[in-house]
């Protein structure tokens, strides 16, 4: 779907991280967790390309999708100036999202902005009555966006921050390992850190359960036409936008 | 309503708008905004003789009003292309142009031979910007290699041949003449401009391939200038491209001397771009009292500067 | 504090930042934001042998992230230049580079002779992008004319010669070698890219001169690529330019292999640009632990790509 | 002066024409009628160059300068979105403005946006106790911005609109000719129309009084360095930004 839609909310969640809501019933009704949209809403050709953002919440009842993004460059800086009523071009939903969680329970493990695409997954698992264990890390407490939502939809949430501002210092993948010993997990979902991804992969292989990772790459078209966004997989290069952004973890070459 | 049909030598298009090779999916990689059958032609991503993986990532980097790509022509190889892609292309119901990329001049000939008898192909476009094996410069930058590559293709096919020229040359008109003398029917002016970006924090080039080709609005005035020069000095139909985003941009190329236009990066930022361009050209012709696209091809050359 | 001094063959600059010829006034045409004496060098607008009016207006047209100029090198002529401009240039107290533009190869020689003994000139820059009389291509695009023009200047001066190369060539490294063999000491990489814009309502080129030279951020990745290539293939100090607006852009050119940078259009949109660039380079060197500008010249070539 | 300053007011005067006030005591204290400023206040490089605008009011007491501009392209469209508080880069005051009016009376004749630089001239003449006759035309009444200010500072105002929406249809230069017969004018100031400029020139030659015109050209640097903005004068090309924008009318080749 390529359409023009209206911004309904923009708020700075913590310094440099924003929440953006867009009213688009069509996309809200089609999207599922792990998918993304390409968004553009500025005049002129600098920056030129649309920016890919993962769905952070898909509210098909309100006809709204929610994104959470960090200002890292000019595109996201411009984005942060959009106000309710501003009209933006949205192409989406795009890509293959996360395979639907199955009982008894799933683990999600993410770091920093990598927790963004995990939230709708956690929310949908909860809606389906599937258990959720969330393992979240960030450099500091502020980097853990919407921790309350993760808490309210998870059986248990483990939090680690590099500076110890929330949760004891430590490695969240070790928490996952510990939990996996005592809990039956059907799958692990991962995003936002190569290190965590490698740890999750090894654990999943050991547990013989599937594990998935959501990847990022610079994108041109977002639909598989330009072959610009490849990552290395065991079969050679795969298109992050079309073959992913979610891949089976042990298919990916890190 | 003005007539939008354009005749490019042996090739007739119902309207002058087509995608630039490598930037638009005619099948499932289509952003789905409109039916590709509405286009003057569809143009496939360049195909190679043998499967090739393409360049290591990152393959794209944005620049002011531009995009550099170093995709490097990954290809499933011509056999798989004929098997898997041709049915999709045929199905579009419009003119089908297949772009080919060789690593040697002979490969252009071989590719042409392989594709000549495949039903549903209306023209071959030679992507001459690919680096060749065993020589520094791409085909499009070396007069001798250029002639060899085009001749090799010409010798093996009766299909119309589009030579897609490199802008990275001293005299694109002279190179165009070489391509025509070697048997090309149509010129595509022009491919991307050599460019690169360095990451000042990592202190190394951003692209996996170090350098790539710049496209987008940044190069539009360069491409218009190239079309203008070639139109002045060479008698052959021109497909103009480089930075076309709006119908106004497309009209600029037609006035400069292009008979058709190819749209690249614009498809990324507006999947409806080509449809809007077709409609916009139509509207321009109608509102300005022209009867056909052909009426405005090269028109900016002939109207005297009134002051 | 890291050392910002750079040595360009026979020329030593206290810092690597200078204006690009034709874009900055060292005297009264100065937006007044800082003292030009703080610059590594001042560079005058190209001067001709005889007075010349320049091209008819319009002389400027904006493009996405770029500016095309077809100013056409108006000049008061070298005599008036020496009389009226040199005192202002000398007064800046920094290195003075005078750009010269001939209509024939001999004129470069004559200009060099006339300027050689004028006190206060530290180097001559040859603007080789001007069209020459009696031949289609500008000096910078024709190997033979290029050699002639540089030799003519070399024969008549002991001053350091900067050859300002045209990017509108197939192989800028090969052309650079020709300029060096003919006697140039330093390369300026590169001048503007040929470009034009057509007004679709008037159906004629916007510029009085039809086409002009594209500068600004749009061409930056093209210029970086040219600096990169020349650095790889030619041993000579390079002044990089094309689209430098911020200190980050300047560092990119240094990492690509430039030893100094020239800033053009940026002076129009931010009269403080050059001062900010000098400070920014200094800050980058200090924060990244480099001891001098020389430490980062070409550094992006040597650091292996770690993944 | 090159500085960053704050927008204090932005209002749409009539459709497509805006009033923009900027707080910049330095520039307000230096500027005089007929001068202009180069203004830029957007991110990125598209559009690239600053936009020249004439001072419409120079209020050195409030430290404010006022511009009135028409949205004609992307730069002015972006400008029209600036809100109070927005910070913009301003280079100015630039160019040679109008020579100061002298007694007994001056005539100003302008069309469309060409009336913009005439207003501060009219206001300063009035302050000096010099008579002012204003001759204003536009395609329609809406194109006559701040007519009330012209009225309150002029001895007489003549208005013509092409569509007759204000003032009888007709040619405002004929009004000027008529007035010039019965009134002693010390100079004529003109802006915004070649036709009016030619008529004013002929009349001024006939009356043997000086006449001035403010010209426009595409500008690069705004300070005389790039030689991009020339117009044709009897002495060859002159730089509009530095030698002008105000020229002696009979120096200009139309
Ligand atoms: C499928 C997908 C989903 C994403 N979801 C989110 C999300 O939910 N929240 C979020 O904050 N970010 C997300 N990103 C990353 C986001 O797209 C980039 O941060 C953004 O495009 C940067 O734009 P910019 O103009 O601000 O930065 P730029 O100035 O373009 O670049 C700044 C930095 O960001 C990097 N970058 C630029 N473009 C991309 C890109 N397309 N992909 C990855 N890195 C890039 C650059 O290398 C550079 O280091 C996602 C990326 C992908 C591919
Ligand atoms: C000294 C001077 C004072 C001016 N004062 C005013 C003023 O007080 N109010 C006002 O409304 N306008 C004024 N202008 C004109 C104003 O600068 C242009 O309308 C504006 O720059 C157009 O920018 P844009 O991006 O909106 O248009 P663009 O998209 O750049 O162009 C749209 C149209 O405007 C023309 N144009 C673009 N730039 C210029 C330029 N620098 N000069 C002239 N025409 C241009 C183009 O040819 C085109 O037809 C003045 C111009 C000059 C040179
Ligand atoms: C991502 C990408 C991939 C491309 N792949 C090809 C290709 O396979 N073959 C080819 O001839 N040109 C290729 N091109 C060049 C385009 O066809 C076109 O010539 C160029 O992008 C200029 O047009 P634009 O500015 O409208 O994009 C590619 C361009 C891009 C951006
Ligand atoms: C208005 C203008 C005038 C120029 N005049 C000259 C000139 O006289 N001589 C010359 O060698 N280059 C001239 N140039 C080219 C610049 O020196 C510079 O090489 C070019 O603009 C690229 O740098 P930039 O992108 O930083 O502007 C001119 C450029 C502009 C925009
Ligand atoms: S972004 Fe174009 S193929 Fe993925
Ligand atoms: S705008 Fe540069 S000289 Fe006038």
Residue in A48, A224, A225 closest to B66 by CB: A48
| pLDDT score at C307 | 35
Q: What is the pLDDT of residues A138-175, one digit of tens each?
A: 998 888 999 999 999 999 999 999 888 888 778 888 88
Query: Are residues A142 and A46 part of one domain?
Result: no
| pLDDT score at B305 | 46
Query: Are residues D76 and D177 part of one domain?
Result: no
Interface check for D43 against chain A (CB to CB < 8 A): the answer is yes
Identify the band that residue B129 occupies on the pLDDT scale cut at 50, 70 and 90.
confident
Query: Are residues D81 and D133 part of one domain?
Result: no
Query: Are residues D89 and D110 part of one domain?
Result: no
CA distance C67 to B221: 10
Q: Which residue has the tokens 């600053």?
A: D50
CA distance B114 to C160: 58
Q: How far does C75 lie from chain D, in Å, by closest CA? A: 10
Whether D50 is in a domain gets the answer yes
Whether D109 is in a domain gets the answer yes
CA distance C130 to C139: 7
Which residues have CB under 6 Å of ligand 4?
Answer: C 20-23, 45-46, 67, 69, 71, 73, 99, 127, 164, 191-192, 215-216, 219, 241-244, 263-266; D 220, 226, 228
| Stronger pLDDT, C98 or A181, i.e. the higher one | C98
Q: Phi and psi of A98, rounded to 5°?
A: -75, 135
Half-sphere exposure of C197 (CA within 13 A, CB side): 24
- Centroid of ligand 4 to alpha carbon of C44 (angstroms): 11
CATH of the domain at A21: 2.40.30.10
Structure tokens at A130: 């599937």
> B23, B69, B83, B3: which is closest to B274 by C-alpha?
B23
Structure tokens at D92: 């100015």
Whether A99 is in a domain gets the answer no
Do the beta carbons of residue B288 and residue B280 sit within 8 Å? no
Query: Are residues A123 and A229 part of one domain?
Result: yes
Check pLDDT > 80 for residue B54: yes
Interface check for A47 against chain D (CB to CB < 8 A): the answer is yes
User: What is the 8-class DSSP label of residue C101?
Assistant: -
Residue C6's H or E segment, with its range, is strand C6-8
Instruction: Report the atom number in ligand 3 closest to the C-alpha of A220.
Output: 1
Residue C124 bridge partners (DSSP)? C98, C161
CB contact under 8 A, A45 and C217: no
The residue of chain A with its CA nearest to that of C217 is A46
Q: Where are the domains of chain B?
A: 6-306
Q: What is the pLDDT along chain D (254 residues), one digit of tens a residue?
A: 899 999 999 999 999 999 999 999 999 999 999 999 999 999 999 999 999 999 999 998 999 999 999 999 999 999 999 999 999 999 999 999 999 999 899 999 999 999 999 999 999 999 999 999 999 999 988 889 999 999 999 999 999 998 888 887 788 888 888 888 888 899 999 999 999 999 999 999 999 999 999 999 999 999 999 999 999 999 999 999 999 999 999 999 98
Which chains neighbour B (Cβ–Cβ under 8 Å, 3 or more pairs)?
A: A, C, D
Instruction: Report the atom number in ligand 5 closest to the C-alpha of A229.
Output: 4
> A12, A213, A215, A34: which is closest to A119 by C-alpha?
A34
Q: Phi and psi of B174, rounded to 5°?
A: -65, -40
CB contact under 8 A, C62 and D89: no
**Contacts B218 to A, Cβ<8 Å:** 45
Identify the band that residue B307 occupies on the pLDDT scale cut at 50, 70 and 90.
very low
**Strands B66-69, D105-111: pairing kind:** unpaired
CA distance C238 to C252: 13
Residue B11's H or E segment, with its range, is strand B11-13
| pLDDT score at C303 | 65
Closest Cα to atom 7 of ligand 1: A53
DSSP A10-59: EEEEETTEEEEEEE-HHHHHH--TT-EEEEE--SSSSS-S-EEEE-SEEE
CA distance A122 to A109: 11
- For the segment B278-290, the average pLDDT, to the nearest whole number, is 97
Whether D207 is in a domain gets the answer yes
Interface probe, candidates B64, B216, B306, chain D, greatest D C-beta count within 10 A: B64
A219 Cβ inside 6 Å of ligand 5: yes
| D193 prior amide bond cis, ω within 30 | no
Structure tokens at D203: 């009349």
Q: How far does D78 lie from chain B, in Å, by closest CA? A: 17
Instruction: Report the atom number in ligand 1 closest to the C-alpha of A241.
Output: 1
* Cβ neighbours, 10 Å, residue A110: 29
Residue in B45, B59, B65 closest to A230 by CB: B59
CB contact under 8 A, B217 and D45: no
Do the beta carbons of residue C72 and residue C209 sit within 8 Å? yes
Structure tokens at A30: 């089609």
Identify the band that residue C302 occupies on the pLDDT scale cut at 50, 70 and 90.
confident
Query: Are residues D211 and D130 part of one domain?
Result: yes
Q: Sheet holding A246-248: strands in order across?
A: A156-161, A131-138, A105-111, A187-191, A211-214, A246-248
User: What is the 8-class DSSP label of residue C71?
Assistant: -
Crossing angle (nearest 10°) for helices D194-207 and D172-182: 20
| pLDDT score at B274 | 97
In angstroms, how far is the first alpha carbon of chain A from the final one?
32
The residue of chain B with its CA nearest to that of C248 is B200
- Domain C-terminal end among A94, A119, A139: A94
Do the beta carbons of residue C68 and residue C59 sit within 8 Å? no
Whether A64 is in a domain gets the answer yes
Tell me what percent of the residues of chain A surpass a pLDDT of 90: 85
ipTM: 0.96
CB contact under 8 A, D2 and C272: yes
Q: How far does B103 lie from chain A, in Å, by closest CA? A: 20
Check pLDDT > 90 for residue B29: no
Whether D151 is in a domain gets the answer yes
- Domain C-terminal end among A46, A71, A94: A94
> C300, C299, C292, C305: which is closest to C6 by C-alpha?
C292
User: In sequence order, which residues have a C-beta less than 8 Å from that of residue C23 and are 6 or more positions away?
Assistant: C263, C264, C265, C267, C268, D220, D221, D225, D226
A47 Cβ inside 6 Å of ligand 1: yes
Interface probe, candidates A40, A44, A76, chain D, greatest D C-beta count within 10 A: A44
3-state helix, strand, coil in chain D (%, to 5): 25, 35, 40
Structure tokens at D199: 């008529």
Which residues have CB under 6 Å of ligand 6?
Answer: D 219-222, 224-229, 239, 241-242
Mutate to test the pocket of ligand 2, among D52, D114, D245, D246 (most ligand atoms within 8 A of CB): D52
CA distance B272 to B39: 12
Q: How far does D89 lie from chain A, in Å, by closest CA? A: 18
Torsion of CA C181, C187, C189, C194, to 10 degrees: -60
Q: What is the pLDDT of residues A70-128, one digit of tens each?
A: 999 999 999 999 999 999 999 999 999 999 999 899 999 999 999 999 999 999 999 99
Reported in sequence order, the residue ranges of C108-259 that DSSP labels E, i.e. its strands, are 123-127, 161-164, 186-189, 193-195, 198-199, 204-205, 212-215, 238-241
Residue C60 bridge partners (DSSP)? C69
Query: Are residues D242 and D165 part of one domain?
Result: yes
CA distance C193 to C265: 14
User: What is the 8-class DSSP label of residue C146?
Assistant: H
Q: What is the pLDDT of residues B147-204, one digit of tens each?
A: 999 999 999 999 999 999 999 999 999 999 999 999 999 999 999 999 999 999 999 9
Query: Are residues D134 and D198 part of one domain?
Result: yes
User: In sequence order, which residues have a C-beta less than 8 Å from that of residue B201 and are 6 or more positions away?
Assistant: none
Query: Are residues A177 and A52 part of one domain?
Result: no
Question: For the whole model, what pTM was predicted?
Answer: 0.96
| Stronger pLDDT, D142 or A7, i.e. the higher one | A7
Residue D105's H or E segment, with its range, is strand D105-111
A109 Cβ inside 6 Å of ligand 1: no
Q: How far does B218 lie from chain D, in Å, by closest CA? A: 10
User: In sequence order, which residues have a C-beta less than 8 Å from that of residue C152 and are 6 or more positions away?
Assistant: C102, C105, C106, C107, C108, C109, C110, C112
| Stronger pLDDT, B135 or D236, i.e. the higher one | D236
Q: What is the pLDDT of residues B69-127, one digit of tens each?
A: 999 999 999 999 999 999 999 999 999 999 999 999 999 999 999 999 999 999 999 99
Interface probe, candidates D72, D221, D232, chain C, greatest C C-beta count within 10 A: D221
Report chain C residues touching chain D, CB-CB < 8 A.
22-25, 28-33, 45, 53-54, 57-67, 69, 71, 74, 216-218, 245, 265, 267-272
B6-306: CATH topology is TIM Barrel (3.20.20)
Which chains neighbour A (Cβ–Cβ under 8 Å, 3 or more pairs)?
A: B, C, D
> B216, C120, D236: which is closest to A48 by C-alpha?
B216
Q: How many structural domains does chain D have?
A: 2
**Contacts B171 to C, Cβ<8 Å:** 137, 141
User: What is the 8-class DSSP label of residue B81?
Assistant: I
Mutate to test the pocket of ligand 4, among C17, C18, C19, C21 (most ligand atoms within 8 A of CB): C21
Q: Where are the alpha helices (DSSP H) in chain A?
A: 25-30, 74-79, 118-127, 147-153, 172-182, 194-207
- Domain C-terminal end among A73, A94, A115: A94
Nearest 5°: CA angle at C244, between C243 and C249? Answer: 120
Nearest 5°: CA angle at C197, between B59 and A220? Answer: 20
A69 Cβ inside 6 Å of ligand 1: yes
* Cβ neighbours, 10 Å, residue C259: 25
Structure tokens at B35: 């039916």
CA distances, A65 to each of A16, A23, A24, A62, B86 (Å)? 20, 7, 7, 9, 38
Residue B60's H or E segment, with its range, is strand B60-63
User: In sequence order, which residues have a C-beta less than 8 Å from that of residue C254 and are 6 or more positions away?
Assistant: C16, C240, C261, C281, C293, C296, C297, C299
Give the domain range for residue A7: 3-94
CA distances, C267 to each of B78, C54, C201, C222 (Å)? 51, 21, 31, 20
Query: Are residues A111 and A87 part of one domain?
Result: no
Q: Which ligand is nearest to the CA of D36?
A: 2
- Centroid of ligand 4 to alpha carbon of C262 (angstroms): 9
CA distance B238 to A31: 43
Residue A2 bridge partners (DSSP)? A91
Query: Are residues D131 and D75 part of one domain?
Result: no
**Strands D156-161, D187-191: pairing kind:** unpaired
CB contact under 8 A, A49 and B69: no
Per-residue 3-state assignment (H helix, E strand, C coil) for B131-187: CCCCCCCCHHHCHHHHHHHHHHHHHCCCCCEEEECCCCCCCHHHHHHHHHHCCCCEE
Query: Are residues A237 and A143 part of one domain?
Result: yes
Residue in B168, B197, B219 closest to C170 by CB: B168
Number of helices (H), then strands (E), belonging to chain D: the values are 6, 15
Residue in C68, C221, C243 closest to B221 by CB: C68
């Amino acid at each position: 779907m390529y359409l023009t839609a209206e911004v309904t909310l923009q708020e700075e969640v913590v310094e440099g991280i924003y929440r953006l809501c867009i009213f688009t019933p069509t996309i809200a009704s089609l999207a599922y967790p792990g998918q993304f949209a390409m968004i553009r809403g500025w005049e002129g050709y600098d920056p030129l390309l649309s920016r890919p953002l993962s769905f952070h919440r898909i509210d098909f009842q309100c006809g709204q999708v929610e994104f959470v993004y960090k200002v890292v460059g000019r595109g996201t800086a411009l984005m942060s100036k959009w106000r309710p009523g501003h009209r933006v071009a949205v192409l989406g939903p795009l890509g293959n999202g996360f395979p639907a969680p199955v009982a008894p329970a799933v683990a999600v493990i993410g770091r920093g902005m990598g927790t963004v695409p995990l939230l709708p997954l956690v929310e949908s698992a909860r809606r389906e009555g599937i258990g959720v264990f969330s393992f979240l890390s960030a450099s500091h407490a502020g980097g853990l966006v919407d921790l309350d939502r993760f808490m309210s939809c998870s059986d248990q949430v483990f939090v680690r921050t590099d500076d110890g501002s929330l949760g004891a210092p430590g490695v969240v993948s070790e928490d996952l390992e510990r939990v996996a010993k005592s809990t039956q997990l059907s799958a692990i979902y991962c995003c936002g850190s190569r290190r965590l991804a490698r740890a999750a992969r090894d654990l999943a292989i050991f547990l013989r359960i599937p594990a998935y990772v959501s990847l990022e790459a610079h994108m041109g078209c977002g639909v598989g036409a330009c072959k610009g966004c490849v990552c290395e997989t065991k079969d050679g290069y795969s298109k992050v936008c079309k073959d992913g952004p979610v891949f089976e973890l042990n298919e990916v070459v890190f | 309503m003005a007539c939008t049909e354009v005749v490019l030598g042996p090739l007739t298009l119902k309207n002058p708008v087509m995608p630039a090779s490598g930037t638009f999916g005619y099948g499932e990689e289509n952003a789905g905004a409109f039916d590709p059958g509405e286009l003057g032609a569809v143009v496939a991503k360049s195909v190679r003789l043998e499967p090739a993986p393409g360049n290591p990532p990152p393959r794209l980097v944005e620049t002011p009003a531009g995009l550099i790509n170093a995709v490097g022509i990954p290809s499933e190889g011509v056999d798989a292309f004929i098997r898997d892609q041709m049915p999709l292309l045929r199905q579009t119901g419009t003119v089908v142009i297949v772009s080919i990329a060789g690593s040697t001049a002979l490969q252009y000939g071989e590719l042409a031979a392989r594709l000549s008898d495949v039903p549903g192909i209306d023209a071959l476009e030679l992507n001459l910007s690919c680096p060749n094996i065993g020589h520094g410069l791409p085909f499009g930058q070396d007069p001798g290699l250029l002639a060899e590559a085009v001749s090799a293709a010409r010798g093996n096919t009766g299909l119309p041949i589009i030579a897609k020229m490199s802008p990275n040359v001293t005299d694109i008109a002279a190179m165009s003449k070489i391509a025509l003398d070697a048997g090309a029917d149509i010129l595509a002016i022009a491919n991307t401009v050599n460019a690169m970006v360095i990451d000042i924090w990592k202190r190394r080039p951003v692209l996996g391939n170090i350098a790539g080709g710049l496209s987008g609005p940044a190069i539009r005035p360069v491409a218009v200038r190239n079309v203008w020069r070639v139109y002045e000095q060479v008698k052959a139909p021109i497909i103009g491209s480089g930075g076309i985003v709006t119908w106004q941009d497309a009209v600029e190329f037609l006035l400069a001397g292009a008979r058709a236009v190819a749209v690249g990066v614009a498809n990324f930022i507006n999947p409806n771009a080509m449809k809007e361009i077709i409609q916009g050209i139509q509207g321009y012709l109608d509102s300005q009292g022209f009867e056909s696209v052909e009426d405005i091809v090269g028109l900016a050359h002939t109207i005297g500067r009134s002051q």
